[in-house]
A = this chain, B = another copy of it.
Amino acid sequence: MGNTFGQLFRVTTFGESHGGGVGVVIDGCPPRLEISAAEIQQELDRRRPGQSKITTPRKEADTCEILSGVFEGKTLGTPIAILVRNKDTRPQDYDEMAQKYRPSHADATYDAKYGIRNWQGGGRSSARETIGRVAAGAIAKKILFAVAGIEIIGYVKRIKDLEGVIDPNTVTTAQVESNIVRCPDAECAERMIEHIEQIGRQGDSIGGVVECVARNVPKGLGEPVFDKLEADIAKGVMSLPASKGFEIGSGFAGTLLTGSKHNDEFYTDERGEVRTLTNRSGGIQGGISNGENIILRVAFKPTATIRKEQRTVTREGEDTLLAAKGRHDPCVLPRAVPMVEAMVALVLCDHLLRHQGQCKVLTN
């Protein structure tokens, strides 16, 4: 109970890493939107394992099928169900992990909560679960662009202590996709890739930070006091596997400034729009978008499943050692980029629909 996200653009995901498949049901999609499986596939391919030398070598095509909600290429306004079949499973890789808990993984807590667990490949706690999110995010992105020209661009900002220099106001998707680590600072990307390969060879893993920008967001999205825009985005990205931190605008660093240095002063631009001279607010004030770019960052810990030997216990509580088998990403960051974009898109799309409903109704 907790597999549904959103109020008006409502997404329910399902599926374990091994079993029939994974997918999503999207309820509340506006009707008459043109959408194709190919467009969704494009986003799924960015999330797909085996896409490059720095991701897991598991080969999963992750081909999606639209089961409902689309007719003659257009959305019906009815639920859109999307299914991706599971393939290329090697349950034997997980034999040992059926008995031994992976440190910092969800194996032990799933057992504690449910008293049962699909031990093949992480089950529901596998990153494979995010396929449904990314598929739904592809549709959300399309709606956001069609309705308001909103574009959402995520990228790897930092791998361990290697930090790229990137301007969120001008970065393009082409720049992000120009290298396999998805860091638009080409020189830094080189070093990141090299470092990930080296760590992978050691059987270890590393983490980092994804930054994401949403541009052309209209003023007025967000529903105080609990469903503030940054609160819902925080929930969305903190529900992604391996995320450990979130910040918006100036974030933690902003706490080092005084108010007079931190505040975003207002001015009126040439078109008569009220704008801010700086953007330490990250595009949101009082929980409501202010028309500036929304800029946020998400911290992802190093992958928990590693080949290095570690202390752990068995399901029966016996002390033991585990050196994980299987084919795991030494660094989730490149594949986390489309996941972060998806969650930001889901939140913005939900709030766009909520806002249009509540506040425009009297003047329509």
Contact B76 A302 (CB under 8 A): no
Q: Tell me which residues from 1 to 48 in chain A have a Cβ below 8 Å from any Cβ of chain B.
A: 1-5, 7-10, 12-16, 19-23, 25, 27-28, 30-33
A215, CB-defined interface residue at 8 Å: no
Residues of the B chain whose Cβ atoms lie less than 8 Å from the Cβ of A302: 254-255, 257-259, 262-263
A327, CB-defined interface residue at 8 Å: no
Contacts known (A68-B16, A124-B224, A245-B247); A160 close to B362, Cβ less than 8 A: no
A residues contacting the other copy or chain, number (CB 8 A): 158
Q: What sequence of 0s and 1s flags, for each residue 135-153 of chain A, a beta carbon within 8 Å of any chain B beta carbon?
A: 0000000010011000000
Contact B209 A104 (CB under 8 A): no
Task: Choose the segment among A111-119, A165-173, A181-189 that binds chain B (4+ C-beta atoms closer than 8 Å).
Answer: A111-119
Residues of the B chain whose Cβ atoms lie less than 8 Å from the Cβ of A52: none
Residues of the B chain whose Cβ atoms lie less than 8 Å from the Cβ of A359: 30-31, 77, 113-115
Contact A358 B77 (CB under 8 A): yes
Measured CA separation A359–B160 after assembly (Å): 39
Contacts known (A68-B21, A220-B109, A265-B103); A255 close to B8, Cβ less than 8 A: no
Closest to A133 in B: B225
Closest to A147 in B: B361
Contact A106 B255 (CB under 8 A): no
Closest to A305 in B: B259
Measured CA separation A267–B3 after assembly (Å): 31
Contact B268 A319 (CB under 8 A): yes
A227, CB-defined interface residue at 8 Å: yes
Residues of the B chain whose Cβ atoms lie less than 8 Å from the Cβ of A222: 2, 109, 113
Contacts known (A113-B220, A285-B108); A10 close to B1, Cβ less than 8 A: yes
A67, A101, A241, A264 pick with most chain B CB within 10 angstroms: A67
Q: Tell me which residues from 259 to 316 in chain A have a Cβ below 8 Å from any Cβ of chain B.
A: 259-260, 262-268, 272, 274, 276-277, 280-282, 284-291, 299-304, 306, 308, 310-313
A228, CB-defined interface residue at 8 Å: yes
Closest to A362 in B: B30
Sample 29 A-B pairs with CB under 8 A, ordered by A number: A2-B228, A12-B27, A13-B225, A14-B68, A19-B70, A19-B71, A22-B68, A23-B81, A31-B114, A32-B114, A101-B274, A103-B265, A104-B259, A104-B263, A109-B220, A112-B220, A112-B291, A113-B222, A160-B256, A205-B259, A207-B262, A226-B239, A228-B239, A238-B246, A245-B252, A247-B252, A255-B299, A260-B306, A266-B312
| 18 further interface pairs, Cβ-Cβ under 8 Å (given A71-B123, A259-B308) | A4-B27, A21-B68, A25-B25, A30-B362, A76-B114, A76-B117, A113-B288, A115-B359, A160-B258, A205-B258, A206-B255, A244-B250, A245-B251, A246-B247, A255-B302, A263-B304, A265-B310, A266-B313
